[in-house]
Amino acid sequence: MDDLISDARVMIECESPSDDHEAVARSAEVVTSVVGSRLREAGLPGEPERIEIDGVTHMRWQLGEGPRRVLLLGHHDTVWPHGTLATHPFSVHDGVMRGPGCFDMLVGIAQAAHAVTALARQATKAGRTPQEALDGVTILITGDEELGSLTSRALVEDSARECDAVLVLEAAGPGGAVKTERKGASGYVIEAVGRAAHAGLEPEKGINAGIELAHALLAVAPLADAAAGTTVTPTKGTIGTTTNTVPARASVTVDVRARTAAEQRRVDAAIRTLSPTLSGAELQVTGGINRPPLDLDASAALCERAQRLAAEAGIATLASCAVGGGSDGNFTAGLGVPTLDGLGAVGGGAHADDEHTLVDHIPHRTALVALLIQDVLESRR
C-alpha cells in the first residue's frame, strides 16, 4: 500500500495537462522512472520504448519476446491545467486520496506496475524467470487520451490487435464497478451556406443561412433514440457576421453517442444525407464516427472472469456498469479484442473539484489486475 501511494504521489505531483506537450514529456519522464524502477526491482526490463508522435510522448513496455497476449492500457495526461497542485494538492486523509488526476488515472498506472511486479516476484519464488512468466504482457501509457487520442489511436490499436485481452486501468464506476459498456462517439459540423444581403435595404436578395441551419437542427434532434441509448445533441454554433447582414454562413457542432455500431451508422447516414430546405441554400457536413462503442460482446467474458477471480480471492463483489464517456478501450473493443475497462482506482469526481480515490481499495484492485493477467496468460499455455 505505501509503495502504491508513494508511486501515485510522484506521478500526481508532476502536472500533465494534455494540451502542453512539454508538460506531458516531463510527466512521461516521471512515469518512466516510477514504473521502470519497479519493473527493474522485480527483475524485468525497465526501459520503455518512448514513442513521440506529433510532439506527444507515449511509453510502451513490452515484456518478453513472444507475441502480445495482454495489454495493460492507461494514460498519463490529465484534464487539469497548470497550477492545480496549488489549489488541489496531493493529500491522503481518512483513507481518501486527493490530487489532480489521482482518479483519472494516475493511480491506475501505479496499479499496472505493481500488478506486474507482484507476478514477477511470485514467478521468481517459484523458480521461473520474471521475463518468462510475463512473456506477452505489454504496458502502454499514452499522453493524449483526454484530447481524444489523436496521436495515439494507431499505437493503441497496433498494441492491442493480437492480444487475448486488453485491461484498461481507467477509474472504476460507482462502488468500484468495472465498465463493460462505453458509448461510441461521433462528432459533426453542419454548415449552412446561403447568401449575404443588407438586412435593411434588400433582405429579399439574401438566403438566410441561420434559418437554413434552424431547419437542419430540427431535422437532426429527432435522430436521437432514448430507448436505444442514442443521444444526438447540437452543442456549439455560430450564425452570421454583423447585426445588419442576412447571414451567408451558419454552423453547429453535433455530439452523437450510441451504444451500438449500428446506431452510430444509422445516425451517420442520416446526418450525411440532410437536404436543404430553403431554395438556393446548401448544407455541408464534416466529421463522422470517432470512437466505436465498447459493447458487451467485447467485455462480457472478461467481466465474468474478473468476477470469478474476485470472488475466489475474497475481494468484494465486483459489479459492472455502462457509461456514456469513452476511453481508449473503445478503440480496442472496436477491433474485436476482448476489453475490460474501469479496473483502476475506486473513488469519484473525475474531471471535477472533488476528484478522489479511496486508498483501501488500491491493493485489492491491483491484486485483481494481477489475477486477470495471470489467468489470461495461463488460459493458453
Nearer to Zn ion, 68 or 76 (CB): 76
Of 275, 104, 268, the closest CA to residue 173 belongs to 104
Give 63's strand partners. 137
Q: In the complex, what is the shortest distance from the CB of residue 185 to Zn ion, in angstroms, rounded to a whole number?
A: 14
Q: Which residue's C-alpha cell is 468495472?
A: 178
Q: In the complex, what is the shortest distance from the CB of residue 325 to Zn ion, in angstroms, rounded to a whole number?
A: 9
Task: Assess contact for 320 and 285: CB atoms under 8 A.
Answer: no
Separation between Cα atoms, residue 112 and residue 318, nearest integer Å: 18
Nearer to Zn ion, 19 or 41 (CB): 19
Nearer to Zn ion, 315 or 345 (CB): 345
Q: 3-state SS of the chain: helix, strand, coil percent to 5?
A: 40, 25, 35
Nearer to Zn ion, 17 or 247 (CB): 17
**Element at 318 (helix H, strand E):** none
Separation between Cα atoms, residue 357 and residue 343, nearest integer Å: 13
The DSSP bridge pattern shows strands 339-340 and 165-168 to be: parallel
Q: In the complex, what is the shortest distance from the CB of residue 68 to Zn ion, in angstroms, rounded to a whole number?
A: 22
Interface with Zn ion (CB under 5 A) = 104-105, 170
Q: In the complex, what is the shortest distance from the CB of residue 46 to Zn ion, in angstroms, rounded to a whole number?
A: 24
Q: Rg (Cα) of the chain, in Å, rounded?
A: 24
Nearer to Zn ion, 104 or 144 (CB): 104
Nearer to Zn ion, 144 or 191 (CB): 144
Name the closest residue to Zn ion (Cβ): 104
Nearer to Zn ion, 144 or 295 (CB): 144
Q: In the complex, what is the shortest distance from the CB of residue 134 to Zn ion, in angstroms, rounded to a whole number?
A: 25
Cell numbers describing residue 103: 482518479
Separation between Cα atoms, residue 241 and residue 148, nearest integer Å: 31
Q: In the complex, what is the shortest distance from the CB of residue 108 to Zn ion, in angstroms, rounded to a whole number?
A: 8
Q: In the complex, what is the shortest distance from the CB of residue 105 to Zn ion, in angstroms, rounded to a whole number?
A: 4
Q: Torsion angle of alpha carbons 349, 350, 356, 358, nearest 10°?
A: 100
DSSP string, 289-300: EEE--B-HHHHH
